[in-house]
């Protein structure tokens, strides 16, 4: 589809975007927020945060509680989740000031939004309300269907999140998005492996800690060093055709 034109055909491809280090980066604000939330939820200082890259929040919260000497019970996890949501919402101005949308993020989402063959949603390890705060703060929410997305509270297994998103998108649009009509875009090998395990197409963006070689080794079909709107739209159009 030529740039600037509008395609009126129904959606045929589900595009699932990771958020952190694919579309945005918090530049340290995320860790600071986690420290505050942990203190609020547990009464203790956060001594160590679990590895977060490419993982779901269910995994991160459980391990963080455990390595800080606390039992990850349902009650403890729920309290931490609530504190994280409230802390992110309270830190909107701080996040907007210190964090950023990654170069090309807004332009890429805007271009893809012009092509109605593409249904853009989110697949993220974040809690739903935290994900909403992040994309709203950086002006990206208008391009993403957050109701047909999948989040870190849905399942521990990131690959399963693909199926949640597909089912929600089908319920919303009436379109069946098979694995071959689903694309996951992310920046970590865990993102890539999750998409491949679910049978989806996968695009790697080497904008986080992982380089191009690592993303290719994990199974990414295409890899870019950053978000290039025209190139991504070209690849997605190949799948749709």
Q: pLDDT for 97-143, tens place per residue?
A: 999 999 999 999 999 999 999 999 999 999 999 999 999 999 999 99
Break the chain down into helix, strand, coil percent, rounded to 5. Answer: 50, 15, 35
Helices of type H across 91-188:
92-98, 105-113, 128-137, 158-173
- State phi, psi for 223 to the nearest 5 degrees: -135, 135
* Residue that finishes a domain, picked among 41, 75, 96: 96
* Residue that finishes a domain, picked among 96, 124, 150: 96
Q: Would you say residue 210 lies in a domain?
A: yes
Burial class (CB in 10 A: 0-12, 13-18, 19+), 239: middle
Judgement on whether residues 108 and 206 belong to the same structural domain of the protein: yes
- State phi, psi for 84 to the nearest 5 degrees: -65, -45
Q: How many residues does the chain have?
A: 241
Q: Give me the pLDDT at residue 5, please.
A: 45
Low-confidence spans in the chain with pLDDT less than 50: 1-6
Range of the domain at 165: 13-25+100-240
Judgement on whether residues 159 and 45 belong to the same structural domain of the protein: no
Judgement on whether residues 64 and 149 belong to the same structural domain of the protein: no
- What is the distance between the alpha carbons of residues 184 and 154, in angstroms, rounded to a whole number? 17
Judgement on whether residues 48 and 109 belong to the same structural domain of the protein: no
Taking a C-beta distance cutoff of 8 angstroms, is the pair 120, 172 a contact? no
Instruction: Report the CATH number at residue 236.
Output: 3.40.50.1000
* Residue that finishes a domain, picked among 74, 96, 118: 96
Judgement on whether residues 112 and 191 belong to the same structural domain of the protein: yes
Domain count, the chain: 2
Judgement on whether residues 63 and 168 belong to the same structural domain of the protein: no
Taking a C-beta distance cutoff of 8 angstroms, is the pair 165, 14 a contact? yes
Judgement on whether residues 125 and 82 belong to the same structural domain of the protein: no
Q: Would you say residue 205 lies in a domain?
A: yes
Q: Give me the pLDDT at residue 211, please.
A: 96
Task: Output the CA angle 231-177-160, nearest 5 degrees.
Answer: 95
| 219: region left, alpha or beta (phi > 0 left; psi from -120 to 50 alpha) | left
Q: Would you say residue 172 lies in a domain?
A: yes
Radius of gyration of the chain from its Cα atoms, rounded to whole angstroms: 18
């Amino acid at each position: 589809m030529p740039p600037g034109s509008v395609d009126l055909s129904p959606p045929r491809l589900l595009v699932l975007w990771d958020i952190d280090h694919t579309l945005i980066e918090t530049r340290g604000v995320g860790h600071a927020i986690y420290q505050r939330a942990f203190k609020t939820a547990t009464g203790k200082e956060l001594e160590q945060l679990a590895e977060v890259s490419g993982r779901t929040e269910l995994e991160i919260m459980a391990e963080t509680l455990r390595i800080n000497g606390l039992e990850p019970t349902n009650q403890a996890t729920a309290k931490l989740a609530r504190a994280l949501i409230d802390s992110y919402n309270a830190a909107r101005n701080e996040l907007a000031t210190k964090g950023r949308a990654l170069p090309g993020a807004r332009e890429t989402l805007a271009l893809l939004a012009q092509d109605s063959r593409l249904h853009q949603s989110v697949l993220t390890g974040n809690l739903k309300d935290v994900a909403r705060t992040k994309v709203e703060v950086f002006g990206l929410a208008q391009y993403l269907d957050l109701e047909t997305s999948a989040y870190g509270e849905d399942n521990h297994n990131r690959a399963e999140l693909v199926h949640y998103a597909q089912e929600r998108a089908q319920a919303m649009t009436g379109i069946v998005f098979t694995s071959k009509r689903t694309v996951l875009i992310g920046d970590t090998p865990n993102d890539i492996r999750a998409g491949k395990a679910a049978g989806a197409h996968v695009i790697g963006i080497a904008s986080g800690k992982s380089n191009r070689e690592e993303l290719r080794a994990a199974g990414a079909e295409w890899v870019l060093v950053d978000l290039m709107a025209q190139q991504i739209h070209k690849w997605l159009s190949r799948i749709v055709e």
